[in-house]
Structure 1
C-alpha cells in the first residue's frame, strides 16, 4: 500500500511559499516545574514540531541525536570545509567519539553545553532544515524554511534539568551561528530579536526574529513603541566551559550603574557593576537563571533596603522560604494591576532617565503550599565569588518586552507591559494564511 501523499504535498507547498525576505516568530512557553522557557520550532524533513530549551547566551543550537534522529535533509559537515573552520571547532570527530546521523570519520565536531548543569560533551556538527512561522508583527503566517541550518548533535544525558518535553537547546547568543544570527544571514534581515515571556501556565509568550517592530499584542497595542534603549556591552572573556582563546562572551551584558529601591540609591561597590578585563562583574541577562542572582554584597544591600522600605507599608518579614530570604505573609500584601504593592526596584543604566523599573509582579514570587502562603522577594544570593554581579533572570523578564538589537549593539526594554494594559500572553497566535510575506 502506497504511503499518503499529504505530508509530501505539504512540504513542497512550503518550499513554494518560502519568502526571500520576512520576519519570523516562535511561541515561548514557561515550564511550571523548572520556571525555565522553551522555544517551539520545526526541524528536519518531513518537518517535526520540536521544543527546545531557550538559552539566551548559548552560541549555537543542539538536539539529542541518540533517539532515532531521522531526516532526509541532514548532512554532516566535512572537517576541513570552510563552514567547519568558521565554526571555531576544536576537533574533528569519529563515530566513536561523537556519534550522530550519517556520522563519518571526517565530521566537524562541536561542544554542546548544558549551562544549567555546567556539562559539556564532544558531538557531531550537522546541517538540517528548520522552519518558523512568518509574521507581520500581528499574526503568524506561512512557514519560512531555513534549508541549511547549522546545529549540533548531543546525547540524552545533556538534557538533564531541562523542561520536560524538550529535545535540545535553542542558542540565541551573540555569535555567528546562533538561531537569530543564521536567520539574519540566510534571509538578509536585521540581526535583531525580541522576547516577551509569559508566566501563564496555559498561554505562551512570543519571540520575534529579524524585526525591530511592530510587535502587536491584544488589544492592538504595539509594544515596540514603549522600548527604552541602552548599549549592549561586550564581555571580553567567555564564561562557558569550552572558551576559545581571545573570543569574547556570547552572552548579553548591559551597563547597570546603580540600583534604587523606592527611588533611593543603594550604596554599592561600583567596581562590581562593571565588567573587568578578566570578564568578571557587570550585569548579564539570562534565561537559564529562573530568578535574578546577585553578588553577595549587592544582595545584602538590596534586601536591607527593601525590608526598610516595606516597613513603611506595614509589611513585616516572616519565615523565609528557600531559595529566598525575604518573605511576607500574603494576607498582609495588597495586590494591584502591577502586582503586589511593594517597593519598586530600579536598575539605572547610562543616565538617571534610563532605568528598568521592576514592579511587584516581577520582584515578588508567590509561594502557596500546605500551611505556607507568602510573597517572597524574587532575588537570589549568588555568593561573594559570583562571576557576574547581577544576572537578570527569567522571572524579572516576565511580561516585559526585551529586544536584543545585536546589529546596532543595543538592548531595548519596556519595563512591565502591564502598565500598557496587556501581557506577553496576549499575542494573537491565530494564523493568518493571507499574509502577503
Structure 2
C-alpha cells in the first residue's frame, strides 16, 4: 500500500521466471510460468533463460476509480485461493486470517497443515524484519512475533508473522513469510473486504521480490482497456522499443522522511509541451531530513508532487490550456487535486493538451499526454468535470514525489534490480504487448 493509498486494479497475466529464493540462498532452476491476475475493487529480480511459454485467454474487466493490480494465487496445504494486491511500495506481505463483518475473503490458516506461526526467537523475526517501517515486537501472551503496518490514508494492519506454502501457477514456494493479520483498521472497509491481502514488492529483505529471488520485473498497463501484462524476469517482444534507464538510488541513511527500500530515482525536471519549467534544483532533491524522495509506486493511482513543484506545474499547465479548458476553482478531487475544469456536455479535446514530461537522471523520461492528463470526476454526470492528474502532496501529508501508475499507462516499466536501474519505454500499446507476450495472435 503506497503512502497515498490511492490504488489501481486491473486484470493482468503474470509471467514468472525462476529461480526461486526465500530468506536463504537456495539452489535455482529455470522455468517459465504464467498465471492470471484478477480484478477486485479496493481503496487503497533475474537474467535467466526462457523455456516454454504457456498461454491462456486474457480476462478483461473495465476500469473503475479505485483499482489495484491484484494477483490470484493459492496459499496453504491444501491450497486455498487468495487474491493479493501487488504493491511495489510495501515490504510486509499479509493475509487476512480472521473473519469480520466487513470481510469475507480470508485465509483460513487453521486448515493449513503447512502453516507455522513464528516465535519471537525466530531469526526471521529477530533479523529479517529489521527493514520494516514498524519494528516487529514480541507478543508476550503467545510468544509469537507480532508485526504491524500503517499507511498514510489512516489504515493499518496487525497480526503475527508466519510462514506457509504459496503456489503461483505451477510453482510452489514453501516457508514464505507473511503477516497473518487479525486486526485491520480500514478507511474504506467495503472495498478492502474484496481482497485477501497484500503482496509487498519493494526492496526490503522480506518482500516477495527477495523471497522469490527476483532481480528483474516489468509491467505494462493498457490505457485503452483493462488488459496488461506483468513479467517477473526477462521480457522481450518484437514491438518493444528501446528502454531508457535511470539509476536506482540506494539509500542507507535512516532519516525521518526516507523510505530506504522504495524504488527511488533522481528527479531532474519537468517539461510542459516544449517548455522546460523553471524549477530550482533544490526543490527536486532530497533534503537533510529525507524529504523530497522520488519514488515509483504501483499502488498509487495518481502522481504527487511536492508543493513548490506542483504550483509551478499547475501555473504553466493552466496557461497552456486556457484556450481549451476553463478552470473551475470550486472543484477539488481527492486529496490535493485542485486544478479542475468544467467542460460542458462534451469531452475535452485531449489532442490539444500539452504533454507533461517527467525527466530523470540518465536521460530517462516518462511522458504523460492525452487522456492521462485529465480524470473525470465520478458522479459529475452531464457537467463533465475533469481534474488534472497531478496532485499537491502537501494536503495529503506526503513529504515525497510519488509517480503513480495512472501515468504509467501504455509505458513499459522495467525494474532491473541486478543492474540497479529502472527503464521506461513510452507509447507502448500495452494491450498488444500483453497479447504478444501471452502467445495470442499478433495484431
Q: What is aligned with 2:29? A: 20
Structure 2's unaligned 5+ residue stretches are: 1-27, 42-63, 100-107
Matches within 5 A, 1:232-251: 232-236=248-252, 249-251=260-262
> For residues 374 and 117 of structure 1, do their structure 2 counterparts lie closer, same or farther at Cα, with a shift above 3 Å needed?
closer
The answer to whether the aligner puts 1:333 opposite 2:348 as a matched pair is yes
The answer to whether the aligner puts 1:110 opposite 2:137 as a matched pair is no
Q: What is aligned with 1:229? A: 245
The answer to whether the aligner puts 1:299 opposite 2:322 as a matched pair is no
Q: What is aligned with 2:177? A: 150
TM-score by length of 2: 0.73
Hey, what's the Cα distance between the residues in 1 that align with 2:421 and 2:179? 28
CA positional deviation for 1:146? 0.6
SS at 2:384 equivalent: strand
Matches within 5 A, 1:38-437: 38-67=70-99, 68-69=108-109, 70-88=111-129, 90-94=135-139, 96=141, 105-111=142-148, 113-120=149-156, 122-133=158-169, 143-155=170-182, 157-158=184-185, 160-161=187-188, 163-184=192-213, 190-198=214-222, 203-209=226-232, 211-214=233-236, 216=237, 221-223=238-240, 225-236=241-252, 249-311=260-322, 314-318=324-328, 321-323=331-333, 324=337, 325-327=339-341, 329=343, 331=346, 333-335=348-350, 340-351=351-362, 353-367=363-377, 369-383=380-394, 387-418=398-429, 422=431, 426=435
SS at 1:41 equivalent: strand
> For residues 423 and 320 of structure 1, do their structure 2 counterparts lie closer, same or farther at Cα, with a shift above 3 Å needed?
farther
CA positional deviation for 1:83? 2.9
CA positional deviation for 1:387? 4.6
C-alpha contact (below 8 Å) 2:200/2:207 kept by paired residues: yes
C-alpha contact (below 8 Å) 1:125/1:152 kept by paired residues: yes
> For residues 164 and 120 of structure 1, do their structure 2 counterparts lie closer, same or farther at Cα, with a shift above 3 Å needed?
closer
TM-score by length of 1: 0.74
How big is the alpha-carbon RMSD for the aligned residues of Structure 1 and Structure 2?
3.2
CA positional deviation for 1:77? 2.2
Structure 1's unaligned 5+ residue stretches are: 1-18, 97-104, 134-142, 185-189, 432-437
Hey, what's the Cα distance between the residues in 2 that align with 1:239 and 1:328? 42
Q: What is aligned with 1:10? A: none
> For residues 422 and 288 of structure 1, do their structure 2 counterparts lie closer, same or farther at Cα, with a shift above 3 Å needed?
closer
> For residues 233 and 23 of structure 1, do their structure 2 counterparts lie closer, same or farther at Cα, with a shift above 3 Å needed?
farther
